Amino acid sequence: MSAHIQKSRLDDLKFDNRFVGVLPADPIADNHRRQVTAACYSRVLPQIVARPELVAFSKDAASLLDLSAADCMSSEFAEVFAGNRTLDGMDPYAMCYGGHQFGNWAGQLGDGRAINLGEIINARGERWALQLKGAGPTPYSRTADGLAVLRSSLREFLCSEAMHYLGVPTTRALSLIRTGESVVRDMFYDGRPQAEPGAVVCRLAPSFIRFGNFQLFAARGEIEVLRSLVHYTIETDFPELGPPSKETIVAWFAEVCRRTATMIVHWMRVGFVHGVMNTDNMSILGLTIDYGPYGWLENYDPDWTPNTTDAHGKRYRFGHQPQIGMWNLVQLANAIYPLVEETEPLEQALATYASTYESSWQSMMAAKLGFDRYSGDADLALITELIELLQLVETDMTIFYRRLAEIDSGQQFNADQCMALFANAYYVPDEVSREYVQRVTTWLNRYIERLREDSCDDVSRRAQMNTVNPKYVLRNYLAQLAIDKAEAGDYTLVNELLEVLRTPYEELPNSEAFAGKRPDWARERAGCSMLSCSS
């Protein structure tokens, strides 16, 4: 994508910067690695890069900032969102927070490679925080360099937008810009580091506050800083709850529980595996945040994790994500306890997570199967049998549900017809035994009987199912193909994928190649199966 030199409206962005205006700052201005106490952030400037080059931008994300495509293709845009130029009104900073990583308290973590440029108020009165990821070191970088490579930056850019179009709560991605510099990374932590192209992603969210922001101040006994942050969060992002008080804090926590449950149900709906659900990667707004070693479930395996660091314990495997959501919320409850000083209200709020998840999951599965409603134990038995069947042979989850929508509820299926319907969803046809096909056929005919209990006709049911079961997801191998081309300077596939992923539920006759199941060559290839936390 070429950049054209022309005047943009970047200087018209109206920065509010309430976060730095209200909350306590790190008094030390020098940007060196250190423990930062009694402060919510440290002011820090992005690192200047050699040759900013626009790889891609999201026109829909740009519209959130009232920017046009022409604005995004200006040379000024690349300079600003690579970190080379600071606009009037920007007040860049890195957040201070802690967190549990793989179940263990890690102490201070913070924005080690993310720099917030500030928060703007758009023409509709919405608040959007702008954050550069990979823009250089901060006081929280520890032993790292604060930079990012094109490989991981491209994955984050595409996935942020893909998740939005899928209807999953998420942070957004405005732009992907190459820096013209190399970054050394040991992708698999095997002692073989390599130089890779550097890049910066600009991320957008109403707020980037995480569970870990609150945890750190509680762990250190910095209760007044904790109180200031909780009050700021309620007043800024949850104003409908009313002025901060003990009761409001409990209501706020219950709302965080509800949003977190809703987000994870959406992950389960589309087959997304976050891969690193540490508490510092959990958004207080219930948004999917920090796209690192994520992956899409292709063959349905509840025990799959895309994260090499998690390969042994599989703490963050697909099927365990709901339980981890609860575990993380318990840690947040512990953090805010000093402001409530009562256990029972927090436990009642935590119960909101379980009840919201259960009811939302039931409704979600009913929608995936095209039912008018979830009908209790009978539907649960049907769903349980289906989930078991999907695991017995390698079955592509996305393709299976799209094919299921195509059935005629007036038909009775035999084994051959059933196999023909789902053949394209199976990765290893030789695994599909006669006994298995018979079992699937029995399930399919029971499913058809259930459909007949509803009043919905096939055309309407099919349309409804195809609004919750996507045709296109960001399959791991597709992202890797885009990376391969982008590293060679060809950004066409990045932008083509972005355009396809804008309409993931539509039938796009010219884009069928993007709906195919994972090819055999991608089964074990790096970037297509598992990834490390390294960027």
Block residue for tokens 């949003």 = 259
Catalytic annotation on 280?
A: yes
Cβ of 315: how many Cβ atoms within 10 Å? 18
Block residue for tokens 């409908």 = 240
DSSP code, position 96: -
Strand pairing partners for 198?
149
**Cβ–Cβ < 8 Å for 110, 34:** no
CA distance 27 to 11: 29
What local confidence, expressed as pLDDT, does residue 3 receive? Answer: 46
CA distance 329 to 352: 11
CA distance 273 to 214: 25
- What does each of the 535 residues of the chain score in pLDDT, given as a tens digit? 444 444 568 999 999 999 999 999 999 999 999 999 999 999 999 999 999 999 999 999 999 999 999 999 999 999 999 999 999 999 999 999 999 999 999 999 999 999 999 999 999 999 999 999 999 999 999 999 999 999 999 999 999 999 999 999 999 999 999 999 999 988 766 778 899 999 999 999 999 999 999 999 999 999 999 999 999 999 999 999 999 999 999 999 999 999 999 999 999 999 999 999 999 999 999 999 999 999 999 999 999 999 999 999 999 999 999 999 999 999 999 999 999 999 999 999 999 999 999 999 999 999 999 999 999 999 999 999 999 999 999 999 999 999 999 999 999 999 999 999 999 999 999 999 999 999 999 999 999 999 999 989 999 999 999 999 999 999 999 999 999 999 999 999 999 999 999 999 999 999 999 999 999 988 888 888 778 765 4
What local confidence, expressed as pLDDT, does residue 128 receive? Answer: 98
Q: Which residues contact 131 (CB under 8 A, 6 or more apart)?
A: 114, 115, 116, 117, 202, 203, 204, 205, 208
Q: Which residues contact 322 (CB under 8 A, 6 or more apart)?
A: 261, 264, 268, 357, 361
CA distance 465 to 368: 6
Amino acid occupying residue 403: R
How many CA atoms lie less than 13 Å away from 216 in the CB half-sphere?
Answer: 25
Catalytic, out of 26, 280, 290, 396: 280
Rg over alpha carbons for the chain, rounded to the nearest Å, is 24
At 486, list the tokens: 């982008």
CA distances (Å), 244 to each of 217, 232, 249, 510, 527, in order? 18, 9, 7, 53, 45
**Cβ–Cβ < 8 Å for 400, 382:** no
Kindly report, residue by residue over 245-266, the tens digit of the pLDDT.
999 999 999 999 999 999 999 9
Block residue for tokens 């495997």 = 317
**Cβ–Cβ < 8 Å for 324, 307:** no
CA distance 241 to 125: 19
**Cβ–Cβ < 8 Å for 46, 132:** yes
Q: Determine the distance from the C-alpha atom of residue 335 to the mean position of all C-alpha atoms in its chain, rounded to a whole number.
A: 24
What local confidence, expressed as pLDDT, does residue 417 receive? Answer: 96
CA distance 46 to 357: 40
Sorted by where each begins, the domain ranges of the chain are: 10-209, 371-455
Query: What are the start-end ranges of the E strands in 139-241?
Result: 172-185, 194-205
Q: Which residues contact 503 (CB under 8 A, 6 or more apart)?
A: 165, 472
CA distance 270 to 293: 17
What local confidence, expressed as pLDDT, does residue 8 receive? Answer: 66
Is 0.85 surpassed by the pTM of this model?
Answer: yes
**527: region left, alpha or beta (phi > 0 left; psi from -120 to 50 alpha):** left
